[in-house]
């Protein structure tokens, strides 16, 4: 039995307008205790601002978060999935694209989000997918979520070459 993303996604997604300041978006993130915010241009999702973006592009570069617009530092293009996609395919996208948060779009409209944390919570269901990615080196950023498995390197390469529907 495969699980569809729409069955597990978080529907109340935090958003910010593309013209908002990084400070404003960060305050929203802190109030909701989340690590990312989806950036909208009108009603269209165009990027994501994550804690990592804030650290790398604001703190380290010593930029003023009150004067810097989210548009200047958000991650783009937005890697997303569709609600009817099964969870295994979403996990593959997250691993291959090295993202921890996956916005869910229907007809270019934001309808939800899943995170790597959500996937880990569903460990019994998704473990087979994570284990199928036999690697010598786990992709950066998800090493604590993926179990290294001894196997033939060629099997990993086969998985990477599989076509996965990515928006």
Global model pTM greater than 0.85: no
Specify the higher pLDDT residue, 136 or 88: 88
Closest CA to 158 of 92, 86, 87: 92
Burial 147-162 (b: 16+ CB within 10 A, else e): eeeeeeeeebeebeee
pLDDT at 111: 97
Percent of the chain with pLDDT strictly greater than 90: 59
pLDDT tens, position by position, 111-154: 999 998 888 777 655 555 555 554 445 555 544 444 444 444 33
**3-class DSSP assignment, residue 82:** coil
User: What dotted CATH number matches 5-161?
Assistant: 3.10.580.10
């Amino acid at each position: 039995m495969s699980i569809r993303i729409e069955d597990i996604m978080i529907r109340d997604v935090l958003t910010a307008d593309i013209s908002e300041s990084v400070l404003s978006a960060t305050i929203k993130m802190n109030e909701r205790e989340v690590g990312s915010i989806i950036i909208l241009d009108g009603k269209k999702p165009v990027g994501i601002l994550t804690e990592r973006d804030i650290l790398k592009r604001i703190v380290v570069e010593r930029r003023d978060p009150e004067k810097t617009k989210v548009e200047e530092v958000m991650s783009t293009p937005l890697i997303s999935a569709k609600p009817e996609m099964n969870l295994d395919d979403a996990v593959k996208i997250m691993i291959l694209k090295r993202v921890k948060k996956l916005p869910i779009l229907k007809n270019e409209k934001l309808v939800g989000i899943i995170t790597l944390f959500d996937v880990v919570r569903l460990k019994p269901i998704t473990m087979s997918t994570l284990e199928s990615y036999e690697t010598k080196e786990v992709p950066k950023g998800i090493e604590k979520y993926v179990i290294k498995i001894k196997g033939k390197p060629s099997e990993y390469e086969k998985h990477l070459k599989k076509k996965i529907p990515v928006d």
